[in-house]
Amino acid sequence: MTTPGLLPASALALCLALHARAAPPAAPPSTPALLERGQAAYASHCLRCHGPKGEADGPLAAGLKVKPYNLARYQLQAAFVFGAITEGVPGTPMPSFARLSAEERWAIAYHVEGLGPGK
Ligand code: HEC
């Protein structure tokens, strides 16, 4: 028995992962609506470790074996954040968020870019 649909889906995921490593897929333009979505998605997916302003002080931070990165200390670029959340950081508590749509990941990436000191 083969499962039609499974191969194309995994091939697509692999393609996206490889593409993200080389150069991120075309970023949607940053708009107020996308930023608003990013703020909400950050609150659901990232705040518990990285804290409300990215200062590595979320409610789970103290209990992690590897401390979360302080997202507010240096000015991060959205493309870097997109790559980090797509791949995660293996061997640390930082998970991959590849299951979120690329648009959602870009929304979060723009929000995180806005947490930096240069914004
Ligand atoms: C379970 C806790 C946890 C969650 C949830 C989490 N992170 Fe992290 N994150 C970490 C830890 C721990 C590190 C530090 C990894 C290391 O030391 O290399 C990290 C590292 C990072 C880095 C730096 C990656 C690098 O290559 O140095 C970025 C950017 C980041 N996280 C963004 C996010 C965003 C955005 C979200 C939400 C989509 C998120 N994280 C969710 C724990 C978390």
DSSP 67: P
- Model pLDDT for residues 62-119, shown as the tens digit of each residue: 999 999 999 999 999 999 999 999 999 999 999 999 999 999 999 999 999 999 998 7
Does residue 30 register a pLDDT over 90? yes
Q: How far is the CA of 40 from the centre of ligand 1 (A)?
A: 17
3-state DSSP percent of the chain in helix, strand and coil, to 5? 50, 0, 50
Q: What is the 3-state secondary structure of 15-37? A: HHHHHHHHCCCCCCCCCHHHHHH
Which residue CA neighbors atom 24 of ligand 1 most closely? Answer: 84
Which residue CA neighbors atom 5 of ligand 1 most closely? Answer: 46
Q: Which CATH superfamily includes the segment(s) 29-113?
A: Cytochrome c-like domain (1.10.760.10)
This prediction has a pTM of 0.84
Does residue 5 register a pLDDT over 80? no
Q: Please list every protein residue whose CB sits less than 6 Å from any atom of ligand 1.
A: 45-46, 48-50, 60, 64, 66, 68-69, 81, 84-85, 89, 92-94, 97, 108, 112
Q: How far is the CA of 64 from the centre of ligand 1 (A)?
A: 11
Atom number in ligand 1 closest to CA 67: 12
CA–CA dist 105, 78 (Å, integer): 10
